[in-house]
């Protein structure tokens, strides 16, 4: 039997990110500037979250998107991810990518939900928004995608920025994902139609190991990449995005499956 559960986030609210917390009955969502934790156990009341929290803006003095679009100067949570187990010596950590250009790392998972306690506030202090965030499979690295096309990689053992990965994407980087069996390899993609493969452990003058356009670029130079994923064995890559046809570019959604040379 299946049951549809509606988790209300408020009128006209946009849900940017969602995901289950492994080994629990909890779901975590990010909508506008608020993160919510929901209990999905049978018999529990899912109409209200078990907890909800927002993040104060750090360093940004002008509203993201402009005062007309963001009159309350909200600090939008564009992505939130749960760490692998035992990261940083605790059960789970939560990393959020924010419009003020910071990544916030919190702990606080317990039997009743999440009561967030700050672990680290990560930023280059330049105000460039973060569009997405990703943990490595071993939990030792945290990668953040940025609006200027670059990526930041932090070491979760020290919370120091290990590398700034730049030069591959000319438009916003929409996301990144680590290789399932090699936590050093990081794949990124962008709205400019490019994908790049990086050695995330290289700290001096990091350059992409591989950089290129998707096959669709030959016909649609404005083709945006919206999502990529590795196969479980790490030998194949799926690339998905829009069709590059102006205002309809997010509706075509062609998908390319690429077999990688090993």
Q: Would 221 be classed as within a structural domain?
A: no
Q: Would 140 be classed as within a structural domain?
A: yes
Q: Would 259 be classed as within a structural domain?
A: no
Tell me how many domains the chain contains. 1
Q: What is the CATH number of the domain that holds 127?
A: 2.130.10.10
pLDDT for residue 9: 72
From first to last of its 262 residues, the chain has per-residue pLDDT tens of 455 566 777 666 799 999 999 989 999 999 999 999 999 886 555 678 999 999 998 877 788 888 888 888 899 999 999 999 866 555 799 999 999 999 999 999 998 889 999 999 999 999 999 999 999 999 999 999 999 999 999 999 999 999 999 999 999 999 999 999 999 999 999 988 889 999 998 877 677 776 665 555 555 556 788 899 999 999 888 888 776 555 444 444 455 555 555 4
User: Of 74, 73, 77, 137, which is closest to residue 106 (Cα–Cα)?
Assistant: 77
**Threshold 0.75, pTM exceeds:** yes
158 is written with which tokens?
């020290």
Q: How far apart are CA 107 and CA 116, in angstroms?
A: 6
Q: Would 10 be classed as within a structural domain?
A: no
pLDDT for residue 88: 54
Q: Would 255 be classed as within a structural domain?
A: no
Q: Would 252 be classed as within a structural domain?
A: no
Q: How far apart are CA 169 and CA 150, in angstroms?
A: 7
132 lies in which domain range? 15-208
Q: Would 72 be classed as within a structural domain?
A: yes
Q: How far is CA 62 from CA 71, 75, 99, 119, 149, in A?
A: 10, 11, 11, 26, 21
- Residue 18, φ and ψ in degrees, nearest 5: -155, 155
Q: How far apart are CA 204 and CA 189, in angstroms?
A: 22
């Amino acid at each position: 039997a299946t049951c549809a559960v509606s988790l209300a986030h408020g009128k006209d609210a946009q849900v940017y990110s969602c995901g289950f917390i492994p080994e629990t009955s909890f779901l975590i969502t990010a909508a506008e500037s608020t993160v919510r934790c929901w209990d999905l156990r049978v018999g529990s009341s899912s109409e209200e979250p078990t907890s909800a929290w927002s993040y104060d803006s750090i360093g940004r003095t002008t509203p993201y998107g402009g005062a007309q679009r963001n009159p309350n100067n909200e600090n939008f949570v564009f992505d939130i991810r749960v760490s692998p187990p035992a990261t940083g010596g605790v059960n789970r950590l939560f990393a959020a990518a924010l419009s003020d250009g910071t990544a916030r790392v919190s702990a606080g998972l317990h039997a009743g939900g999440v009561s967030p306690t700050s672990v680290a506030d990560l930023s280059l202090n330049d105000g460039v928004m973060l569009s997405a965030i990703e943990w490595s499979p071993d939990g030792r690295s945290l990668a953040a995608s940025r609006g200027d096309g670059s990526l930041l990689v932090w070491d979760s053992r020290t919370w120091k920025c290990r590398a700034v990965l730049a030069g591959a994407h000319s438009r916003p980087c929409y996301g990144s994902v680590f290789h399932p069996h090699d936590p050093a390899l990081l794949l990124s993609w962008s709205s400019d139609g490019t994908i790049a493969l990086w050695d995330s452990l290289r700290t001096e003058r990091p350059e992409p190991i591989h950089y290129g356009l998707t096959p669709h670029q030959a016909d649609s130079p404005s083709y945006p990449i919206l999502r990529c994923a590795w196969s479980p064995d790490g030998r194949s890559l799926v690339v998905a995005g829009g069709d590059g046809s102006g205002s309809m570019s997010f509706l075509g959604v062609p998908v390319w499956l690429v077999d990688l040379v090993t």
